[in-house]
Structure 1
C-alpha cells in the first residue's frame, strides 16, 4: 500500500461473491466502498439487482447506489466523473477506495479513460435503432453499421448489441464514425492513481449454481411485486436503460404483455436465468479483454481471494 493514491478494483461476474469480499475488507477500517454497477444506481430497484439491504448499507456504506430514478440515464463518462471525485475525497481523508462491481465498461472507462466530446446517449435515437432491430433483425442493424463505419463492423459482432447501438447512435448524432472520433480525440486518463486490480473468477459450474440460487431467492423475496410497484410509480418501457437490466426486462414483458399464466411465469423465470448466465459470460469476456492491457490478479475461489487480499491490505 506504499504507492501514492492507491485504488483497489475488485471485479467479477454477477453472483461471484465480490461484494461480500469487499465488505470483509471494509471491516479492516481504512477503506471505503464505491459501487461499480450500472443497475445499483437506480432507486427502487432492490431485489432484482441484489442490492445490499438498508442494514447492510448502514454497516458497509456504498457510494453510487440509489443515485437516480429508473427513468434516468447514467453513462460510463458520468461514472468516471463521479468515481474520481469520490476517490479524491477519500484520499484526502486518509482512506483507500475499493471499487467493487461487475460493470466492466465502467472499469474500462476508469482504467483507460474515455474519448472526450462524444455525444451523450440519446434515448430517442436508441429507441429508433432498437425498433429497427425488432422489425428487421440485428443482422440488418449490423449491416447498417458496416455501411457507415466499416472499422466498427470489423471490431464488433452481430451479438455486440449495445456496442452496435452506441456506434450507430454516434453516427446518427454527429455524421461521423465513432472509430474516427475515438482516434482523433484525446483520452482523459486519471494518471494520478495507482490501480490495484483484482478479479474473482469462480469455476463456471459453481457460478451457474450461485446464479440459480440467487434467482430462487429473488423470486421468493417478491421480485415480481417489486416490478409491479415500479410500473405503478414510473412510466416504464423496455427501452429504458434501467429495464435492460437482467430480470427486469423479462419481468416487465411478463407483467405487461402476457396472460400471467403459470406457464408464462415459468417461461419468464427461465428467460431471466438464461439472461443472467449470458451476462456472466459477457463479464468473463470483458475481463479477459482487460487482462490483455492491465495487470489483474485473478482468484478462482473466494477463499483464495480472502487470504491474498487480507495479506495485501490487512
Structure 2
C-alpha cells in the first residue's frame, strides 16, 4: 500500500449466532432484535421449506410478523436447497441490510451453511440427474453402506467423516468422483477463502452439560408430537409429490414420522427414534462448532443467556 493512500474503509458488522438444536438460539435472537438495530437471517436447511412448521421449530406467524426472518419459506418440499445457494442468498441479504444501516444477525444450526459463508465453496460439478438415479438404484439393490464402502475405496477422507447411512452426502461424493475423476476431499481442499465482506462476530451457544441439553431435546420433540407433527407430515404427503429420499423428508423428525407412515418403522418407537436422531444431530452440530467454526462460546444453559450474548454484541453498536 502506498504511504499516502487512505486507509481501507471499515467493513460493516454482522453477527453469527450458532448452536445445536434446542440451545435457545431463536429466543436469544429475538431479544437482540428487541434491543439492537438488527435484521434476522435464518441459517437453517429445514426452515427453507414451505409448509414445514412444527418439525422445523419455525417461528410462528405472529413472531415472523414482528421480527421478519430472511431465508425462510423459500422453496417447496419437493425441491432441494444447497450450501452454495445459501451463500449467495445470505451475502445478498447481508449487503441489503448493511446498506440500510442495520446489522445482519444470522441465526441457526446448519453448520455447513455457516462454513460456506465463512470459507467459501469449492467449484464442484452440477448435479447429474441420470447419475443420481443410477446411484439410487444401486443403493436400493445393495444398501447405502455398500455405496459407502465404494466411496471409501476412492475417497477415504470423505468416507471417514460420513455415516454409512448418510445417503445424500454419499451420493454426492460418488457423483463428484464419477463426474471429475477426483475425490471430493481433494476438490474441497483446493478452495480459496474468499475476501471478507463483513466484520463478523461469531457467537456459539454450547451446553455446559450435555445431559441438560438432552432433556431439552426430549421435551422439544414431545412438544412437536403434541402439536401435530404426524398430521403435518400427512398434509405434506397429500399436498406435494414426496418420497423418502428428498432433502425435506430427510430432516430430523420428518424422516422418523415418514418411516412410520410408510410402515418401515413401528409407531411405538417414533418418540424414541426421533429423540435419538435429534441428539445425534446436536452432537454433530457441537463437533462442528468446537472443531471447525470456533466461535466465542456462551453457555446455552445459563439463566442469564440473553444478557451474556448482549454484552458480547453491544460493542458493535457503539
Q: Give TM-score scaled by structure 1 length.
A: 0.88
Cα distance in 2, alignment partners of residues 17 and 137 from structure 1: 37
Residue matched to 1:54? 61
Q: Does 1:297 align with 2:302?
A: no
Q: Does 1:76 align with 2:83?
A: yes
Equivalent residues of 1:238, 1:249 under 8 A apart = yes
Q: Does 1:313 align with 2:313?
A: yes
Cα distance in 1, alignment partners of residues 202 and 257 from structure 2: 35
Equivalent residues of 1:102, 1:283 under 8 A apart = yes
Q: Which residue of 253, 256, 270 maps to 2:262?
A: 256
Residue matched to 2:95? 88
Q: Which residue of 139, 149, 161 maps to 1:156?
A: 161
* Alignment of structure 1 residues 1-314 onto 2, 5 Å: 4-116=11-123, 118-122=124-128, 125-126=131-132, 128-129=134-135, 131-133=137-139, 135-153=141-159, 155-159=160-164, 161=166, 162-184=168-190, 186-187=191-192, 189-202=194-207, 203-257=209-263, 264-291=266-293, 294-314=294-314
| 1:151/1:218 CA distance change after superposition, 3 Å | closer
| 1:163/1:6 CA distance change after superposition, 3 Å | same
| 1:295/1:204 CA distance change after superposition, 3 Å | closer
Cα deviation for residue 7 of structure 1 reads 1.4
Cα deviation for residue 160 of structure 1 reads 7.7
Cα deviation for residue 54 of structure 1 reads 0.4
Cα distance in 2, alignment partners of residues 37 and 241 from structure 1: 13
Is 226-235 or 136-145 further displaced after alignment?
Answer: 136-145
Equivalent residues of 1:17, 1:302 under 8 A apart = no
Is 28-37 or 125-134 further displaced after alignment?
Answer: 125-134
| 1:250/1:139 CA distance change after superposition, 3 Å | closer
Which secondary structure does the structure 2 equivalent of 1:303 belong to? Answer: coil
| 1:160/1:77 CA distance change after superposition, 3 Å | farther
Which secondary structure does the structure 2 equivalent of 1:176 belong to? Answer: coil
Structure 1 unpaired stretches of 5+: none
Cα deviation for residue 201 of structure 1 reads 1.0
**What is the RMSD computed on CA atoms of the aligned residues?**
2.4
Cα deviation for residue 208 of structure 1 reads 1.1
Which secondary structure does the structure 2 equivalent of 1:200 belong to? Answer: strand
| 1:222/1:158 CA distance change after superposition, 3 Å | closer
Equivalent residues of 1:156, 1:163 under 8 A apart = no
Equivalent residues of 2:15, 2:104 under 8 A apart = yes
Q: Give TM-score scaled by structure 2 length.
A: 0.87
Cα deviation for residue 166 of structure 1 reads 2.5
Is 205-214 or 75-84 further displaced after alignment?
Answer: 205-214
Structure 2 unpaired stretches of 5+: 1-8
Aligned length: 304
| 1:192/1:167 CA distance change after superposition, 3 Å | same
Cα deviation for residue 133 of structure 1 reads 4.3
Equivalent residues of 1:110, 1:189 under 8 A apart = no
Is 238-247 or 281-290 further displaced after alignment?
Answer: 281-290
Which secondary structure does the structure 2 equivalent of 1:27 belong to? Answer: helix
